[in-house]
Chains A and B, each alone.
Chain A
Amino acid sequence: MGFGRDSAIALAVLLVFILLEFTGLRSAGLVDFAIRFATFGLLALSLNLLIGSAGLVSFGHAAYFGMGAYSFGLLMQTGAWSVPAAIMAAVAMTALLALIIGALCVRLSEIYFAFLTLAFQMLLHSLILSWIGLTGGDQGLMGGIPKPPFLGVDLARQDHLAAFSLFCLVASAVALRQILRSPFGAALRMLRDNPDRAAFLGLSVFRYRLAAFVIAGSFAGLAGVLMSLYVSGAFPSFAFWTTSGEAIFMIMLGGVSVFLGPLVGAAIFLMLNDWITAVTEHHGLFLGIILLIIVLGLRKGLLDFAFEHWRARKGSQP
């Protein structure tokens, strides 16, 4: 009974959001939203591999988002790269960065892990700001990014970009899902729940955590590539700590324990943002109050909440 009522309320709220999003309040519409959803959904999904599955609260995930965006943008601006080759190179460079930073971070326990990842992210942020010759400093990567068509895909067109972004999101989600269902994923969950026992069984805690860190970083790099395609540039704020904070907020909104939770959270977060921006200029005030209500009221993400109710109800019926 309680679940039926709660889910009805949740559905009604979601419907109101969708209506507000696509009727009147925002004019840019579906295509624009699809690109942003694919970008931030992928960022949140990749971060949840660390937070939800490996139990590593990274506060520096935006570093790889920024790295992907800047390396892709810089490669394309040389004019010598095709889009697919540049995407692969950008993701590879991001993976390398994640490997170096991860090797230094994953040995540390919870709170120190969070801060060291934050520190490396802010280090990258200040590098971007100070290496003006390469990155354009606080102005960002200006001058646009050339997007030569490939295989009949013309990313300079918004509808093509939206389809391409959604394709990247779906392909990545399938890949991440497979990774989590594999023995590797099971090992990560065991490391999260009981690292001592896992080490005792002969698993290398360091190697598994590092692998998870690099995979999560690579997918965040792909999200960064999509972002730089969307805005046709790259900006220091991509690698700023607030971007990491927003990604964590998205995951918490949707739920950490359900695979698709971060995607639901990303969609709600973007709509919430658009909706609040359209209604009031006091964006942070309203976002903060809503966040407080959700965190102190539900104490977990929406899908976590729904699933627990569903399980409890199933459990109570013989």
Chain B
Amino acid sequence: MELTELAECVSSMSCVVTQLAAGLTIGMLLFLVASGLTLIFGVLGLVNFAHGSLYMMGAYFALAAYGPTGSFAIAVLAGTLGAALLGLFFERFLLSRIYGQDVLMQLLVCYAIILILDDVVKIIWGADFRNMGVPPAFLHPPFIIGGGVVPYFYAILFGITALIAVALSYGMSRTRFGRIVRAAAVNPGMVGALGINTTVVYAAVFAIGAGLAGAAGALSAPIRSVVPGAGVSILIESFIVTVIGGMGSIGGALAASLILGLTRSFGSIGFPLFVEGAMFVIMALVLILRPSGLGGRRG
């Protein structure tokens, strides 16, 4: 524990700004993964334990596309679309067979997918850490705000993730497709009776959720190292987000992601070895005090 250093940091404007920027950026990336997870749970009733692996695949697809093209935009596109297609494949051939089954079945099918993807990645890309490095197009001098250093690339990342979050909430609340999805979450039988093909809706929602995870993986490839098994730690983090935020609640997921991102960035100063533990303490506290999460419906 270095709590004195944390107190020192909190009392200095520059340190607060730096940590705030890092925390919000990490939080927004986490939000992309978690919102996909919570969307899939809310609509399909499926706990997708393999969601973190789709994040990892997004990062690897981005690496593969960035190598020959050198374009970060194409890399992010490749990560998003690749993970969406992979998700579509899993949903159609594996997960759609266990809709409505108990949590154990879902757990095991997803556990199998995690094991398989981790090994496929090792076969194709090797077991070592890989790093994309910040693309040259983003190597600009950092912003200085109140004495605090905000790297240019962090600001870009924050902008892109915020844009996706806005598009997601607009899509869910204002478009026809969003209304169908929300209706399917509440009463799929009625939606089907109205002549809407729920199979297609389910597949589309899963692909969107997978694409969000892939996008987060691709976007974070320049700042985090990419390694087989990376899916599990992000999976647990995004689960904490969905549980704190309330299963199925996008707004709750946003609040929880930012809380966790800030815990991570400030915690790495105050209690570097116990950052993981602190996230679980927060989750346990929320579950004990408010079992359905911050944004979840009680019932």
What residues of chain A have their CB less than 8 Å away from a CB belonging to chain B?
Answer: 51, 57, 59, 104, 107-112, 114-116, 118-120, 122-123, 125-127, 129-130, 241-242, 245, 248-249, 252, 256, 282-285, 287-289, 291-292, 295-296, 299
Contacts and interface: CB of A to CB of B under 8 A. Distances in A.
B274 interface: yes
Given A111-B247, A249-B108, A285-B116, A119 B291 contact: no
B111 A115 contact: no
Interface residues of B, number: 41
Contacts of A245: 107, 111
Given A284-B119, A285-B120, A296 B277 contact: no
Nearest to B284: A119
B163 interface: no
B297 interface: no
B87 to A, nearest CB: 16
Nearest to B101: A299
B47 A111 contact: yes
19 contacts: A57-B102, A59-B107, A111-B103, A111-B247, A112-B291, A116-B283, A119-B240, A119-B280, A120-B284, A122-B276, A125-B276, A129-B273, A129-B276, A242-B232, A245-B111, A248-B104, A291-B111, A292-B116, A295-B105
Contacts of A282: 119, 122-123
Contact of B119 (A127, A252, A288): A288
B112 A51 contact: no
Nearest to A282: B119
A126 B284 contact: no
B239 interface: yes
Q: Which secondary structure characterizes the binding site on chain A?
A: helix
B16 to A, nearest CB: 25
Given A108-B287, A115-B243, A288-B113, A122 B108 contact: no
A301 to B, nearest CB: 10
Contacts of B236: 118, 122, 241
Interface in B257-295: 273-274, 276-277, 280-281, 283-284, 287-288, 291-292
A299 B98 CA distance: 9
Given A119-B243, A252-B104, A285-B123, 14 more contacts: A57-B102, A57-B103, A104-B284, A107-B291, A115-B239, A119-B280, A122-B236, A249-B108, A282-B123, A284-B118, A285-B120, A288-B111, A291-B112, A296-B94
A281 to B, nearest CB: 9
Interface string B20-37: 000000000000000000
A248 to B, nearest CB: 7
A287 B111 CA distance: 10
B283 A119 contact: yes
Interface string B52-76: 0000000000000000000000000
B109 interface: yes
A288 B291 contact: no
Given A282-B123, A285-B119, A295-B109, A110 B284 contact: no
A292 B104 contact: no
Given A249-B108, A292-B112, A123 B281 contact: yes
A296 B103 contact: no
Contacts of B247: 111
Contacts of B122: 282
A292 B94 contact: yes
A288 B115 contact: yes
B140 interface: no
A288 B280 contact: no
Contact of B115 (A110, A126, A130, A287): A287
Contacts of A126: 273-274, 276-277, 280
B104 A57 contact: yes
A100 to B, nearest CB: 12
Nearest to A251: B104
Point out which of B113, B115, B276 has the most chain A C-beta atoms below 10 A from its C-beta.
B115
Closest 5 pairs between A and B when the two form their complex, measured CB to CB: A288-B115, A284-B115, A288-B116, A126-B277, A130-B273
Nearest to A123: B280
Nearest to A107: B291
Given A110-B103, A111-B103, A123 B277 contact: yes
B174 interface: no
B277 A130 contact: yes
Contacts of A256: 104
Nearest to B247: A111
B97 interface: yes
Contacts of A283: 119
Interface in B99-154: 101-105, 107-109, 111-116, 118-120, 122-123
Contacts of B281: 123
